[in-house]
Structure 1
Amino acid sequence: MFDMYQGYVHYKNWDFELFNYTPSDYGGLHHAAVRIAGDSVYRHLKHEGGTHRVQRIPEVGLSSRMQRIHTGTMTVIILPQPVEVDIEQKDLRVDTFRSRGAGGQSVNTTDSAVRVVHLPTGISAECQQSRSQLQNRDTAMRMLKARLYQSIMGKEVEQRHTARKQQVGSRSQSERIRTYNFSQDRVTDHRTGYTTRDIKEFMRGGEALDDLILNVLEHAETEALLELVEQSLKQTTCENTADK
């Protein structure tokens, strides 16, 4: 899935900057952090955040009569790059450590990796991609500012939507937003019901992924417009009642 998003960035002609890449013990990926820049990046990717479910038949089960489907999940977090977030130095704690590889083993002989913690909120960010401690610190600070900005904006968005959610209830089927089912050769987004086939082509991150993202984006923008209409009608009703 990391390759899928990287392929999508290439398809959209965006810039891709790797901050962190930590492999797992099984040849996959445990964690990665990247910066993506380009035209309308956040508008296209902001709805990719959430739990993605993957269903597949492991290679060890291919020859078995009882082919059991393995289900796994991956969490995607999308953070906007803030224009500027003021952080006082006294509110920061900076830790240095050696870069880690698969299984937690150190891969560098120097303490070049950096973790920056914002003490008032407990929000942290770390970077170990570069062998330069200074570069890693600069990257970690950019990530921290983005997360602080997201935290601030998230509270404002939550306050705006709480009232509406209490009236209409939750429409969410579950925490997962999308399922990649390799055994059935399909990808389904649970927010819109959009389904596409040829999963191998989809995972290349090209036109097929773009079509799904645009479908979700159109759905989300329609929902936002309906919310504005509801708020406007409610306000008009309240004003008419007050006039009476």
Structure 2
Amino acid sequence: ELGSRDEKQLLELALEEKEGLDKKINMLCRKLFQLLLPKEKYDRSHVILEVTAGRTTGGDICQQFTKEMFEMYQNYADYKRWTFDIVNYMPAEIGGLHHAAAHISGDDAYRHLKYEGGTHRVQRIPETGLSSRMQRIHTGTMSVIVLPQPEEVDVKVDPKDLRIDTFRAKGAGGQHVNKTDSAVRIVHLPTGLTVECQQERSQQMNKEIALRTLRAKLYQQVTEKQLSQEQSARKLQLGTRAQSERIRTYNFTQDRVTDHRISYDARNIKEILSGKEALDKLINKLLEFAEMEAVTEYLENLQVSEGGG
């Protein structure tokens, strides 16, 4: 009997040790693959992040959701100790948000945010402003675009190709922020690209920020084809297009966030929207999935090249 008790304890110790070793092996394998894989070209870049409200079946849930999402990314930047500079902000009449853009700079900002681009869907019962017959679940969407912004974007912009308009910046309530035309809108005539900046009091500063954003967008057009070719076989696409497929659903009635690309469910919407640990965990799950996809692709290409040789 004593022997069997000792054997049981030894078995438990052995299983514990095996579990610890398995974790170490997995961690070392991941580190090895990270060293083997070529570094993504833009991972260390700063970011331009844009949010835009979509359409809804009723109420103003899209605008409200867009505001919550923008605040989530602002909080996440703070959590990661990044700099978050708002360059454009178009509030909706009833406290929501039509469109906003921000420059985000910090360590590996693009690496962490690059898979946030795409269409985000919300399902919720609007809190106010609807008659009793409208108190049902409404579905709406908002889109996120994430652009890498390398520190030196070498894109030549001919001043003759630009139309620059100035206007008065508006605050959250629609009132003019100041009495001068400090806000700037730049249209790139050959492509039709339009950028705005109204956050600074100085027209010159707004113009400089808008030009920087325009250069990044033109740079993105040049590199997007190359990026899409490199990523074409993967489920996790880089989110540079607002009309990308739906990537995530936020179901408030079930308190569930689902990332459709990796079949990941989290039952803590408020924690995710707070932009801290829960969002960071989801983003890291996406990065792990992307790494495994890249590893699989790397090994398949290796087999093909060896077979060809």
Q: TM range, normalised to the smaller chain?
A: 0.7 to 0.9
After superposition, where does 1:103-142 map in structure 2 within 5 Å? 107-142=177-212
Matches within 5 A, 1:63-82: 64=132, 67-82=135-150
Name the larger-Rg structure. 2
Residue 273 of structure 2 corresponds to 203
Q: Which moved more, 1:203-212 or 1:58-67?
A: 58-67
User: Residues 151-230 of structure 1 correspond to what in structure 2 (within 5 A)?
Assistant: 151-161=221-231, 164=233, 175-230=245-300
Question: Residue 77 of structure 1: SS of its match in structure 2?
Answer: strand
Counterpart contact for 1:53–1:180, Cα < 8 Å: yes
Q: SS at the partner of 1:59?
A: coil
TM-score for the superposition, normalised by structure 2: 0.68
- CA drift of 1:220 comes to 1.6
**1:153-209 Cα shifts (integer Å, max 9, x gaps):** 1111223455x48xx9x9xxx921011111101111111011111211221111000
Gap regions ≥5 residues in structure 2: 1-68, 238-243
**1:229–1:123 Cα change, 3 Å:** farther
Amino acid at match of 1:51: T
**Deviations for 1:98-154, whole angstroms, at most 9, x for unmatched residues?**
224569775543322111222332222111112211011011011111111111111
CA contact (8 A) 1:49 1:76 kept: yes
| SS of equivalent to 1:121 | coil
**1:38 pairs with 106, 112, 116, which one?**
106
Contact 1:51 1:176 in 2 (8 A): yes
Distance in 1 between the 2:186 and 2:302 partners?
43
What is the identity, as a one-letter code, of the residue corresponding to 1:214?
N
SS at match of 1:54: strand
Number of aligned residues? 232
Aligned equivalents of 1:63 and 1:13: distance in 2? 43
The equivalent residue for 1:60 is 128
Classify 1:38/1:156 alpha carbon distance in 2 versus 1 (closer, same or farther; 3 Å). same
Alignment root-mean-square deviation, CA: 2.7
- C-alpha separation in 1, matches of 2:196 and 2:299: 42
Q: Residue 191 of structure 2 aligns to a residue in which SS?
A: coil
Note if contact 2:271-2:279 (Cα within 8 Å) is conserved in structure 1. no
Could you tell me the percent identity over the aligned residues?
A: 61
- State TM-score, norm by structure 1: 0.84
Amino acid at match of 1:95: D
C-alpha distance in structure 1 between counterparts of 2:164 and 2:249, whole Å: 38
Instruction: Give the C-alpha shift of residue 27 in structure 1.
Output: 0.8
